[in-house]
Amino acid sequence: MFDPQEFIEQQIMKLREEVKGKAVIAASGGVDSTVCAALVGKAIGDRLLAVYVDTGFMRKGENENVSEMLRRLGVNHKLVDASDEYFDALKGVTEPETKRKIIGEKFIRIFEREAKKSGAEYLVQGTIAPDWIESGGGMRDIIKSHHNVGGLPKDLNLKLVEPLRDLYKDEVRKVARALKIEVAERQPFPGPALAIRVMGEPTREAVAIAREACAIVEEEIEKASAAGKMKLPWQYFAVLLPVKSVGVQGDIRAYGYTIAVRAVDSVDAMTAVYSKIPHDVLEQISIRITNKMKDKVNRIVYDITHKPPATIEWE
Q: Which is nearer to ligand XMP, 284 or 311 (CB)?
A: 311
Phi and psi torsions of 74, nearest 5° = 70, 25
Nearest-approach distance from CB 248 to ligand XMP, in angstroms: 34
Nearest-approach distance from CB 306 to ligand XMP, in angstroms: 11
* Helix segments in 187-275, DSSP class H: 204-226
Q: Which is nearer to ligand XMP, 235 or 298 (CB)?
A: 235
Nearest-approach distance from CB 12 to ligand XMP, in angstroms: 23
Q: Which is nearer to ligand XMP, 134 or 171 (CB)?
A: 134
- Residues of the shown chain interacting with ligand XMP in the complex, contacts defined by CB under 6 A: 131, 134, 144, 146-148, 188, 190-192, 235, 269, 307, 311-313
Nearest-approach distance from CB 196 to ligand XMP, in angstroms: 7
Nearest-approach distance from CB 13 to ligand XMP, in angstroms: 26
Nearest-approach distance from CB 194 to ligand XMP, in angstroms: 12
Gap between the Cα atoms of 111 and 262, Å rounded: 32
Q: How far is CA 113 from the centre of its chain?
A: 22
Q: Which is nearer to ligand XMP, 32 or 296 (CB)?
A: 32
Q: Which is nearer to ligand XMP, 12 or 270 (CB)?
A: 270
Gap between the Cα atoms of 123 and 118, Å rounded: 12
Q: Which is nearer to ligand XMP, 133 or 301 (CB)?
A: 133
Among candidate residues 110, 114, 121, the one with its CA nearest the CA of residue 85: 110
Gap between the Cα atoms of 304 and 263, Å rounded: 9
